[in-house]
Structure 1
Amino acid sequence: MSNTAKRTIPTKVITGVVRLSYANVWEPKSINGGTEKYSVSLLIPKSDTKTLSAINEAVNAAIEEGKGKFGGKIPNKAALKLPLRDGDIDRPEDEAYANSYFINANSITAPQIVDKNINPILDRSEIYSGVYARVSINFYAFNSNGNKGIACGLGNIQKIRDGEPLGGRTNASDDFATDVDDDFLS
């Protein structure tokens, strides 16, 4: 990320390579009867200190910008719901989250989805839970129903490379790739 982009929008981050989980980026979906949104969980390797540092700076900028929503002053960070979570602590049963932090990002507007050369990806099978991508995200303050914190808005997605699908998804070519299936007609 260039320093000029950081100065103009201090709450925006372009991640390094992250893994997409719970990728709901083609059609908006309602969670518990709420507003329909596009959403994805970004798995950020703990080794990606550059992305993690940029996220922490953007979260701090969002807290500063959100003072008005917090009654004119910055609350103690411990009193805020923050978006960056530790996969080893919050999802210990899910090996995809091991050695990673994660952020849930969502938007009411569809993300633009592009390949490495920034050409639009139209084939929905190209983006799935498990794919590796760079993602633009934006942090903002919220204060609703007694909950105060920083949320993460989903921007655009750039596919970097395929990954092992998460959630047990398999390819038809793998499922049906057998030389001879003697049992087929029995």
Structure 2
Amino acid sequence: MSTNQNPTKVVTGIVRLSYANVWEPKSINGGKEKYSVSLIIPKSDKKTIDAINKAVDAAIEDGISKFGGKKPNKAAIKLPLRDGDIERDDEAYKDSFFVNANSTTPPQIVDAHVQPILDRSEVYSGCYARVSVTFYAFNSNGNKGVACGLGNIQKIRDGEPLGGHSSAADDFSDFSDNTGDDDFLG
């Protein structure tokens, strides 16, 4: 699954995007503006989950200096791969793990043929994609763990939009006012 020699980098299998903040950076709680997305990974995708676990282990090894020179117990630090069945009361996260990835630089966003996607409506919370991510150790303000950096996104296919957003086509039918009455609400 990893496409290069960097042991902390993973290119996922097909995941579902949630909280897709991939076109414009946003500040969360007044922090630095970042691009971010939650990757919903089916528990059945053992290949991606194994690759993520290996990359997290590599990030811990790479980050030993950040942990005071010794390898921490994984149970004592914050880990990026989380269980959707336990941590989210949301149907979209059922039978899935998830990883929250972010970056200060914009991801390159391409289609299945690796052509750039320019129409922002094409990539949204609910669509399916492959995503490159890199894991790294952190130790700041008493918080220790492994975080996930967002790389690039390859949209694979559409999916049901998440977050209650509907399209105009779903909300409206073709409208033609044949009544001649200007007060169509009354």
Shorter-chain TM-score tier: over 0.9
Match of 2:12 among 15, 24, 27: 15
Alignment of 1:72-87 (within 5 A): 72-87=69-84
**SS class of match (1:174):** helix
Q: Residue 58 of structure 1 aligns with which residue?
A: 55
Superposition deviation, residue 184 in structure 1: 3.6
**SS class of match (1:25):** strand
Moved over 4 A (4+): 178-183
5+ long unaligned stretches in structure 2: none
Match of 1:120 among 112, 116, 119: 116
Q: Residue 36 of structure 1 aligns with which residue?
A: 33
**SS class of match (2:36):** strand
5+ long unaligned stretches in structure 1: none
The alignment's TM-score, normalised by the length of structure 1, stands at 0.94
* Residue deviations 1:82-120 (CA, integer Å, cap 9, x gap): 0000000000x2100000000000000000000000000
* Residue deviations 1:103-159 (CA, integer Å, cap 9, x gap): 000000000000000000000000100000000000000000011000000000000
Kindly report the root-mean-square deviation, in angstroms, between the aligned alpha carbons of the 2 structures: 1.5
Alignment of 1:1-186 (within 5 A): 1=1, 5=4, 8-91=5-88, 93-177=89-173, 184-186=184-186
Higher-helix-fraction structure: 1
For the pair shown, the structure with the greater C-alpha radius of gyration is 2
Superposition deviation, residue 31 in structure 1: 0.3
**Percent identity over paired residues:** 76
